Structure 1
Amino acid sequence: MNDVSILVAPAPAPVKAGGAFFVETVTSVQHWTGSLFSFRTTRDPALRFQSGQFVMVGLEKEDGKPLVRAYSIASPAWHDELEFYSIKVADGPLTSRLQNIKVGDPVLIGRKPTGTLVLDGLRPGKRLWMLGTGTGLAPWLSLARDPEVYERFEQVIVTHTVREVADLNYRELFETELPNDEILGEIIAGKLRYYPTVTREPFRTQGRITDLIASGQLFADLGLPAFDPAVDRVMLCGGPSVLADLKQQLLDLGYEEGSVSSPGDFVLERAFVET
């Protein structure tokens, strides 16, 4: 069983703030394990973003200066709240404090969303693969709940690689909640696939995602053909080392990296920092 606790409160109106940040209010906190948590905040109507983007999130220090880092927005662009998924770092400048937030606390949210993990960075294709490790799942939580993703692609595959089974947070969302959602269920029916893998404990699928790609097990397990740059588009988010390895695998297959200004076959997020 995961060590899960949830705090929820009605969403109060957001506090307006000037400068580079909105001051939003925490509406719920979920501690998944001793090292992972997520939280939701109010969302100022002026904040516009694309599913898959990130913003600067943080707290105000005693001297009044902001302490922030980049966080992928885990909620879809249409949602009226903002959701974030985070690790806990005992001596991290930000997360050592952020992990203790409670419902009603203020949180700084940057006014300028950005990032490369957006649909406009990809050429048209048949399948969309979203490969994430650890809290690199966050942008997929946003994109997998965005109807536009399913308008553009016939199949959407989310992979999540973690160290321990307890770290497979949001597993129920992908396996049960989304397929049965009153609104999204019909849109994603038959299109969304979820592929969790664990590296340090026994699980039905074990190993690093790079190894599962190289061996072909990923494709065999899902009953899908191997990556083909003619039809498969790929998004990558996770730790720097696995991103480097995944990128090289795709380049070796003839994939071209894309951006909003020059769409390609794959995109990756470079803003991942554990603090």
Structure 2
Amino acid sequence: MSNFNQESVLSVHHWTDNLFSFTTTRNPSFCFRSGEFTMIGLKVDEKPLLRAYSLASAHYEDRLEFFSTKVPGGPLTSRLQHLKEGDEIIVSRKATGTLVIDNLEDGRNLYLIGTGSGLAPFLSVIKNPETYLRFENVVLLHGCRRIAELAYGEMITEKLPSDELVGDFVRYQLIYYPTVTRDPFHNRGRITDLITSGKLFTDIELPELEPQHDRVMICGSPALMRDARELLVARGFVEGNHGEPAQFLVEKTSAKRNSLSPSRTMVLHES
């Protein structure tokens, strides 16, 4: 278990029947960049049962936070969703991931596109002061089926603007745009449809996406990542990666399964 730290659960919050989040202690030696993920899990039958989770906490915070979907019958989430304060989990000592601003070229506007628990890495990104120093506007798009699934809305709109470190940046540079597909709401529709129709840009009063000035990060369902990638490529955007900064980034789920998994572990991909 030398590849892992043992952490204690500090809090658990169930947003809906399908979504929950939890916070844990943080080993002082664990370092990560905002937007990265790590492997976390539980020890089952003397083996670590693991899954990749994006870090929803900022890189400077003294706790770790994770946001998860409850996968029906999922070997790990079926256990994690029953966590309570004081329980212990294991956390890899390493973090990695595509969704860091270092992997983007300089630009004017940064679009963060997430669905469901794909919001997690962007919660970290919007708490990073460096994000606002790199980009004039930061547009956070969160798409869900139901209003109740728009987790962290109060934190984004009410608490973060008063944050001592990033509050000023948030008030003047962050645009939060939640949207749902199945409930009456002031923003309705799939994110890619709102981009294609131009309604998004009318609502937020910014020009339509173009590769000269805009940068994009994407995390969420396979359908979102596929459709958003196709939309951006059709508009002339170039995808970036580690060591090759470009104009948009997509979280690599295959990397989540394999890049941080040491030998003799059970690595899951439940969703």
Report matched runs for 1:119-138 at 5 Å: 119-138=101-120
Identity %: 51
1:188 deviation in Å?
A: 2.7
* More helix, by proportion: 2
In structure 2, how many angstroms separate the alpha carbons of the residues matched to 1:187 and 1:90?
Answer: 39
Question: Which amino acid is 1:184 matched to?
Answer: V
1:90 deviation in Å?
A: 2.9
1:46 deviation in Å?
A: 0.9
1:157 corresponds to which of 110, 135, 139: 139
1:58 corresponds to which of 23, 38, 41: 41
In structure 2, how many angstroms separate the alpha carbons of the residues matched to 1:203 and 1:221?
Answer: 14
> Are the equivalent residues in 2 in contact too, given 1:74–1:141 (CA < 8 A)?
yes
Structure 2 counterpart of 1:48? 31
> Are the equivalent residues in 2 in contact too, given 1:52–1:140 (CA < 8 A)?
yes
In structure 2, how many angstroms separate the alpha carbons of the residues matched to 1:185 and 1:242?
Answer: 30
> Which one is further off, 88-97 or 153-162?
88-97
1:145 deviation in Å?
A: 0.4
What TM-score do you get using the length of structure 1 for normalisation? 0.91
In structure 2, how many angstroms separate the alpha carbons of the residues matched to 1:217 and 1:174?
Answer: 22
Structure 2 counterpart of 1:25? 8
In structure 2, how many angstroms separate the alpha carbons of the residues matched to 1:208 and 1:84?
Answer: 24
Q: Does 1:36 align with 2:19?
A: yes
In structure 2, how many angstroms separate the alpha carbons of the residues matched to 1:152 and 1:242?
Answer: 26
> Are the equivalent residues in 1 in contact too, given 2:129–2:165 (CA < 8 A)?
no
> Are the equivalent residues in 2 in contact too, given 1:120–1:259 (CA < 8 A)?
no
Q: Does 1:108 align with 2:110?
A: no
Matched positions, count: 257
Report matched runs for 1:76-91 at 5 Å: 76-91=58-73
For structure 1, which runs of at least 5 residues remain unmatched after alignment? 1-17
In structure 2, how many angstroms separate the alpha carbons of the residues matched to 1:215 and 1:90?
Answer: 35
In structure 2, how many angstroms separate the alpha carbons of the residues matched to 1:245 and 1:224?
Answer: 22
In structure 1, how many angstroms separate the alpha carbons of the residues matched to 2:78 and 2:48?
Answer: 15
Local SS of the residue matching 1:190: helix
1:48 deviation in Å?
A: 0.6
Deviations 1:49-97 (A, max 9, x none): 0000000011110x11011111000001000100000011231110001
What TM-score do you get using the length of structure 2 for normalisation? 0.93
1:182 deviation in Å?
A: 2.9
1:260 deviation in Å?
A: 2.7
> Are the equivalent residues in 2 in contact too, given 1:120–1:263 (CA < 8 A)?
yes
> Which one is further off, 172-181 or 64-73?
172-181
Local SS of the residue matching 2:232: helix
Local SS of the residue matching 1:100: coil
Structure 2 counterpart of 1:7? none
1:177 deviation in Å?
A: 1.2
CA RMSD of aligned residues (A): 1.1
In structure 1, how many angstroms separate the alpha carbons of the residues matched to 2:173 and 2:242?
Answer: 25
In structure 1, how many angstroms separate the alpha carbons of the residues matched to 2:156 and 2:211?
Answer: 26
In structure 1, how many angstroms separate the alpha carbons of the residues matched to 2:77 and 2:198?
Answer: 37
For structure 2, which runs of at least 5 residues remain unmatched after alignment? 257-268
In structure 1, how many angstroms separate the alpha carbons of the residues matched to 2:212 and 2:169?
Answer: 25
2:51 corresponds to which of 56, 69, 74: 69
Deviations 1:144-163 (A, max 9, x none): 00101011111101000001
Structure 2 counterpart of 1:3? none
1:183 deviation in Å?
A: 2.8
Q: Does 1:189 align with 2:182?
A: no
